[in-house]
């Protein structure tokens, strides 16, 4: 008998891989992300806002009665908490709703972590609403500290507050972000609550892992390149000492245990501070920024397929950490705010030795926004190499080959 999976949102590739794996698919998709092909592949497609629990709960009940799905899968951030709630409501295997909620709520994660045996992995945090709250946090915990939304993504609305002169700018930024109605994925992320986090000094990495019935297998430590709070690139494997890598991976496993994660992919962001490894945040999903493609290139690991296949016993659990086949890297592209007038060099970039992909999200006439979050980047290049130095260098050459020119006279149309 063919098994049936309920898929919440995500890419059409998820549906394709599920069908190719021999599964029947029932898909709940948001209207803004519906792809007609899904109606050809899936047993049923329902257009609905799956982040609205009042709508989703009875809908899931009815679909379960009609199609008998035995697992719920999602690979998109907005679907993680709803998937956990559906599984718990219907008594299906999967990560608990509580785990999904903690990982989606950065302040809740901090509070939970601080109250348990992995408290050393956390730092002080508090909810903040205005300049007075920021001032109080500084008085209690000092400078610098970071202000960010409790439940957003893509480095949106993140400010580093280094001294009292930064307090009002951060407070104004919070108010402005709450008022925005033009945010990408605005249907899914309603920016309201903010938090302050003690700033964690040190080099930042992310750890990509997959959990098999509570056993966490680290797949890769990803080296991250940043300018301020914005990420400008990633590379695998990270160029790091064995001792530092052990500290990072051990901290990750302790964190996942503390959060109660039992199954599927995870993406944990960690900094090696002078006081040891500290968790910035964690997610029960694949890392964004096409880290999934770096993993497949460098390790042969298709986490999208694994997320679908593992719950149905369609793959064997990994006995341990895989060895890299090569190295892989990505670098993000930016341009001055304004209207794009020319895009040149993409074909040349694709011919660089090691080039994996050129992914440009702008064309002539596109408006480039001021760089305030990851969604304001204009694309990325991906490359492989025999080692991480070579992969990073290939990305640099690819980026240098691409020129995106904008007309700055229209930049005021892109609100900051």
Q: Which residues contact 347 (CB under 8 A, 6 or more apart)?
A: none
pLDDT, position 183: 66
Nearest to 106 by CA among 125, 93, 83: 125
DSSP classification of residue 356 = E
Q: What is the pLDDT of residues 346-373, one digit of tens each?
A: 999 999 999 999 999 999 999 998 887 7
Q: Long-range CB contacts (< 8 A, 24+ apart) of 314-323?
A: 314/21, 314/22, 317/212, 317/213, 317/215, 317/217, 318/210, 318/212, 318/217, 320/217, 321/217, 321/218, 321/219, 322/219, 323/299
Confidence tier at 181 by pLDDT (50, 70, 90): confident
Give yes or no for residue 145 having a pLDDT over 70. yes
**Ordered DSSP codes for 291-304:** HHHHHHHHH---HH
Confidence tier at 187 by pLDDT (50, 70, 90): low
Beta strand pairing status for 44-47 and 24-29?
A: parallel
Do 78 and 50 form a contact (C-beta atoms < 8 A)? yes
pLDDT, position 66: 97
Question: How large is the C-alpha radius of gyration of the chain?
Answer: 21
Give yes or no for residue 135 having a pLDDT over 50. yes
Q: Which CATH code is given to the segment(s) 4-94?
A: 3.40.50.20
With tokens 């257009």, the residue in question is: 47
Q: What residues does 54 pair with on adjacent strands?
A: none
Give yes or no for residue 259 having a pLDDT over 60. yes
pLDDT, position 345: 96
pLDDT, position 154: 54
- Mean pLDDT computed over 242-262: 97
Give yes or no for residue 220 having a pLDDT over 70. yes
Mean pLDDT (the chain, rounded): 93
pLDDT, position 401: 97
Domains 4-94 and 203-325 fall in the same CATH topology:
no
Give yes or no for residue 336 having a pLDDT over 90. yes
pLDDT, position 372: 76
pLDDT, position 293: 95
Nearest to 312 by CA among 35, 25, 10, 9: 25
| Element (DSSP H or E) covering residue 111 | helix 106-114
Nearest to 159 by CA among 211, 230, 210, 250: 230
pLDDT, position 118: 96
Nearest to 339 by CA among 303, 307, 367: 367
Q: What is the pLDDT of residues 148-160, one digit of tens each?
A: 999 865 567 789 9
- In our burial notation (b when 16+ CB lie closer than 10 A, e otherwise), range 209-238 reads bbbbeeebbbbbbbbbbeeebbbbbbbbbb
pTM over 0.85: yes
Alpha carbons 34 and 44: distance in angstroms, whole number: 13
pLDDT, position 373: 73
Q: What is the pLDDT of residues 46-61, one digit of tens each?
A: 999 999 999 999 999 9
pLDDT, position 414: 41
Pick the CATH number of 124-198 from 3.40.50.300, 1.10.3720.10, 3.40.50.1820, 3.30.1490.20: 3.30.1490.20
pLDDT, position 342: 96
> Which architecture, in CATH terms, is 328-413?
2-Layer Sandwich (3.30)
Alpha carbons 185 and 32: distance in angstroms, whole number: 9
- Phi first, then psi, for residue 264 (nearest 5°) are 95, -170
Give yes or no for residue 228 having a pLDDT over 80. no
Alpha carbons 2 and 4: distance in angstroms, whole number: 7
Do 210 and 266 form a contact (C-beta atoms < 8 A)? yes
The region that residue 278 occupies, defined by phi over 0 for left and psi between -120 and 50 for alpha, beta otherwise, is: beta
pLDDT, position 237: 98
Give yes or no for residue 188 having a pLDDT over 70. no
Give yes or no for residue 132 having a pLDDT over 60. yes
The alpha helices in 332-384, defined as continuous H runs, are 346-350
Alpha carbons 47 and 17: distance in angstroms, whole number: 20
Alpha carbons 389 and 132: distance in angstroms, whole number: 46
Spell out the domain ranges in the chain.
4-94, 124-198, 203-325, 328-413
Give yes or no for residue 292 having a pLDDT over 90. yes
Confidence tier at 413 by pLDDT (50, 70, 90): very low
Alpha carbons 400 and 405: distance in angstroms, whole number: 13
Task: Assign 406 to helix, strand or coil.
Answer: strand
The share of the chain scoring above pLDDT 70, in percent, equals: 95
Angstrom distances, CA of residue 290 to CA of 155, 336, 365 = 15, 23, 25
pLDDT, position 178: 86
Number of H helices, E strands in the chain: 13, 19
Q: Which residues contact 73 (CB under 8 A, 6 or more apart)?
A: 5, 6, 7, 8, 14, 18, 83, 307, 308, 311
pLDDT, position 411: 55
pLDDT, position 192: 85
Q: Class of the 203-325 domain? A: alpha beta
């Amino acid at each position: 008998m063919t098994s049936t999976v309920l898929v919440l949102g995500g890419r059409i590739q998820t549906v394709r891989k599920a069908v190719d794996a021999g599964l029947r698919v029932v898909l709940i998709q948001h209207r803004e992300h519906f792809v007609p092909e899904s109606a050809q592949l899936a047993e049923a497609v329902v257009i609905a806002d799956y982040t609205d629990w009042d709508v989703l709960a009875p809908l899931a009940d009815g679909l379960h009665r009609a199609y008998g799905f035995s697992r719920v899968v999602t690979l998109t951030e907005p679907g993680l908490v709803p998937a956990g709630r559906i599984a718990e409501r219907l008594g299906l295997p999967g990560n608990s709703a509580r785990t999904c909620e903690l990982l989606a709520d950065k302040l809740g994660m901090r509070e939970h972590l601080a109250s348990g045996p992995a408290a050393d992995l956390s730092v002080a945090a508090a909810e903040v609403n205005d300049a007075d709250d920021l001032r109080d946090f500084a008085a209690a915990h000092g400078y610098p500290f970071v202000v960010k939304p409790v439940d957003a993504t893509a480095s949106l609305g993140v400010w580093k507050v280094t001294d009292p002169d930064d307090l009002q700018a951060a407070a104004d930024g919070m108010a402005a972000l709450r008022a925005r109605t033009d945010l990408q994925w605005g249907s899914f992320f309603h920016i309201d609550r903010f938090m302050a986090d003690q700033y964690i000094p040190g080099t930042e990495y992310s750890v990509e892992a997959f959990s098999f019935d509570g056993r966490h297998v680290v797949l890769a430590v990803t080296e991250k390149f940043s300018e301020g709070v914005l990420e400008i690139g990633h590379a695998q494997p990270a160029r790091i000492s064995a001792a530092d890598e052990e500290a990072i991976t051990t901290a990750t496993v302790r964190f996942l245990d503390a959060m109660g994660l039992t199954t599927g992919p995870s993406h944990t962001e960690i900094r090696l501070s002078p006081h040891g490894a500290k968790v910035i945040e964690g997610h029960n999903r694949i890392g964004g920024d096409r880290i999934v493609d770096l993993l497949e290139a460098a390790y042969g690991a298709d986490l999208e397929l694994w997320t679908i296949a593992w719950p149905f016993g369609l793959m064997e659990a990994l006995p341990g950490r895989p060895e890299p086949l090569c190295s892989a890297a990505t670098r993000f592209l930016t341009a001055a705010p304004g209207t794009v007038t020319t895009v040149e060099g993409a074909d040349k970039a694709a011919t660089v030795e090691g080039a994996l992909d050129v992914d440009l999200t702008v064309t002539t006439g596109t408006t480039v926004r001021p760089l305030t979050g990851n969604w304001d980047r204009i694309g990325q290049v991906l490359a492989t190499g025999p080692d991480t130095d070579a992969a990073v260098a290939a990305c640099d050459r690819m980026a240098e080959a691409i020129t995106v020119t904008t007309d700055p006279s229209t930049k005021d149309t892109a609100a900051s």
